[in-house]
Structure 1
Amino acid sequence: MKNKKLIYVLSIVIIIFIIGFSFLIYKSEQSEKNRIKKQIELDLVYNELDSISILLGDKILTISQLGGEIDSLIIIKENIEKEKKEFRSRAFTQINKLQGKVEGYKELLIAQDEEINKLKLINEQLYDENKDQKVEINTLNSTISEINKTKETLQVKVNYASRIELKNLEIFGISKNGRNYKNSFKNRLVNKIKIDIEIEENEIAKIEIKDIYLRVEKPDGNIMFDISKGSGSFIFENRELFYTIKREVLIDKLSKSLSIEYIKNEDFMIGNHTLILYTDSYIIGKKEFLVK
């Protein structure tokens, strides 16, 4: 009888132990399930924070390139990164709070999409305006270029028309007793030559003092040259030329006459000589004379 009672008691104890142990196992499993569930929720929230941080970084770059304001967005991104660093150490009870922040950040991203669209629209309008301005500027530049070409053409014509024009050019051999031999003379009869120049009136000529260079070419092609009588050289069309005589002449739109004399220091060469009158940029005229 005692054995039966003992067996009964032990059976009850074992049953109670089994029930208690089963309950503990159940509670442990439920706790683990809850922990895993909350960990999954935490991971989801963390991943959302990470994705939002990346997207916000992209939008900051886009807004910056479009010329928008990004200072406040940079501060928000820094706060998100701080949230991520502190995230793992937070209690599970803060999930709802974090999820609320995540929703707020999502709304911020949507707002930035709207800002980006506005900035893109503004930039497109500016691009169209700039394109129109470029067309106008190109048209204006073309017009200015054409005006400058016309101006240059007119200036060339004016420069040409304002050149010194000869009305007459004569060469005389002068004897010691003052007798003149026009354009042809014997060497033994003359001791100098005289060049008479008549310049035409020119209303559009620039008023200035201009150098006139006289080159007397001998029959052998050499230049009549004597430094003691003022001979020298000048630059014409990028090359050096020698001249026989140089004179400064006041060009004042009016016609004028001048005479230039050259005393010989040696016999003139027999044959045709050529007198050429230059400025530093063009030939005024030329004339031949004969020495017999």
Structure 2
Amino acid sequence: MSNETPEKDSNRKLLVVGLIIVLLSINGILIYMQQQKTQETDEQKEIIKVKSTELENQIKVYETLKADYERQKAELGALGLTNDSLETRIAAINADLAQLRAFRNSSFTVADQRRFQQRAQNLELALQKKDEEMTKLQGDNEELFTEVTGLKTTQNKLADSITTLSSNNKELAEKVNLASKLEAQNIAVTIINDNGKEKEDSNEEYKAKRVDKIKLSFRLGKNEVAPKENKEILMRLIEPDGSALYNLATGSGTFEFEGKEQFYTAKRDIVFDNSQQQVSFIYSKGSPYKTGKHTIEIYAGGFLIGSTSFTLK
């Protein structure tokens, strides 16, 4: 050791110092590289976190779009309308949602993000346009509903007026009809026996077995309301048992009076001229008459215009 020169000792110290410096430099580089790696890892984690947030936000956007389009579909359905393009967009949104949810287990790139954002914007624009169209359509429907309601109100008022007018006309017609009712006046019953002789005293009781025909005569009273036209005069000869004589062979028939079907014995057609004209019936039963009180009723225009009675013994 004592043989080493001061020069060699100095060189050794320099070598040691240099080695220490190299080691320190290497250690520093390693520390720097580790820090860089840690920073890159943190940045990567942050990027992954950001991408995950953006993916979830994009999914929420599409879920909102789906709900809005389904709302539109329901509103159109309420209006009784359908829209094929709306169904197509809902199907496209469902397909995009399936792809976005699949990105949770794979890489969601910036390009993917931009692509789906653009599609969402297009869908949002289409949604807004359709909402505007539907708002206008609903407004038109409300206006049309108001017009229809007004027309129905007017129609109901008109129907009420027509009903009232019809009722008034019916009432007036009934009054006119009642006022035009004819009246049989000076009613007389004549008994014609089998010898052809007539007996006019209606207070006398006649023997039924000698009666061949019954003659009824009367005048039609004056009536300025009744129109001068053809009139159908019906005569009912009612026997003591309450039944009306009826024989088709001698011109009998049926008519309606006060809602019930009645039999008439004979009929005459005349032209009413408001001259107090005379009208008569001659009726032959063709078989013996019953004893007792007989009633004769005279009808015209749906009214009972006169009646009388006679008795056979």
TM-score range with shorter-chain normalisation? 0.7 to 0.9
Structure 1 counterpart of 2:287: 265
Structure 2 counterpart of 1:77: 90
Report 1:92-131 matches (<5 A).
92-93=109-110, 94-131=112-149
Kept after mapping to 2: 8 A contact 1:169/1:197: yes
176-185 or 29-38, larger mean C-alpha shift? 176-185
**What is the TM-score with the length of structure 1 in the denominator?**
0.76
Equivalent of residue 54 in structure 1, options 61, 67, 70:
67
Amino acid across the alignment from 2:227 = I
Answering whether residue 204 of structure 2 is matched by residue 185 of structure 1, we say yes
Distance 1:281 1:226 in 2: 19
Kept after mapping to 1: 8 A contact 2:229/2:272: yes
Quote the offset at 1:285 in angstroms: 1.6
Distance 2:227 2:256 in 1: 26
Kept after mapping to 2: 8 A contact 1:212/1:246: yes
Quote the offset at 1:286 in angstroms: 0.3
% of aligned pairs identical? 22
Answering whether residue 307 of structure 2 is matched by residue 289 of structure 1, we say no
Kept after mapping to 2: 8 A contact 1:163/1:205: no
31-40 or 166-175, larger mean C-alpha shift? 166-175
Q: Partner of 2:194: helix, strand, or coil? A: coil
Q: Cα 1:143–1:285, aligned 2, differ >3 Å: closer, same or farther?
A: same
Answering whether residue 236 of structure 2 is matched by residue 214 of structure 1, we say yes
Quote the offset at 1:172 in angstroms: 0.6
Q: Cα 1:228–1:33, aligned 2, differ >3 Å: closer, same or farther?
A: closer
Kept after mapping to 1: 8 A contact 2:239/2:245: no
Distance 1:31 1:206 in 2: 115
Gaps of at least 5 residues in structure 1 are: none
Q: Partner of 2:56: helix, strand, or coil? A: helix
Equivalent of residue 150 in structure 1, options 168, 174, 183:
168
Q: Cα 1:278–1:73, aligned 2, differ >3 Å: closer, same or farther?
A: same
Kept after mapping to 2: 8 A contact 1:187/1:267: no
Q: Partner of 1:185: helix, strand, or coil? A: coil
Structure 2 counterpart of 1:195: 216
Q: Cα 1:140–1:115, aligned 2, differ >3 Å: closer, same or farther?
A: same
Equivalent of residue 51 in structure 2, options 38, 43, 49:
38
Q: Cα 1:224–1:83, aligned 2, differ >3 Å: closer, same or farther?
A: closer
Quote the offset at 1:41 in angstroms: 0.3
Aligned length: 286
Quote the offset at 1:196 in angstroms: 2.2
Q: Cα 1:50–1:152, aligned 2, differ >3 Å: closer, same or farther?
A: same
Q: Partner of 2:243: helix, strand, or coil? A: coil
120-129 or 44-53, larger mean C-alpha shift? 120-129
Distance 1:148 1:232 in 2: 33
Structure 1 counterpart of 2:7: none
CA RMSD of aligned residues (A): 3.8
Distance 1:16 1:261 in 2: 150
Distance 2:180 2:298 in 1: 16
Task: Please list the CA deviations of residues 124-155 of structure 1 after superposition, one character each: whole Å capped at 9, or x if unmatched.
Answer: 32233223222321221121111211221233
Distance 2:162 2:171 in 1: 14
Amino acid across the alignment from 1:289 = F
Gaps of at least 5 residues in structure 2 are: 1-11
Distance 1:48 1:193 in 2: 107
Q: Partner of 2:242: helix, strand, or coil? A: coil
Q: Partner of 1:58: helix, strand, or coil? A: helix
Q: Cα 1:53–1:206, aligned 2, differ >3 Å: closer, same or farther?
A: farther
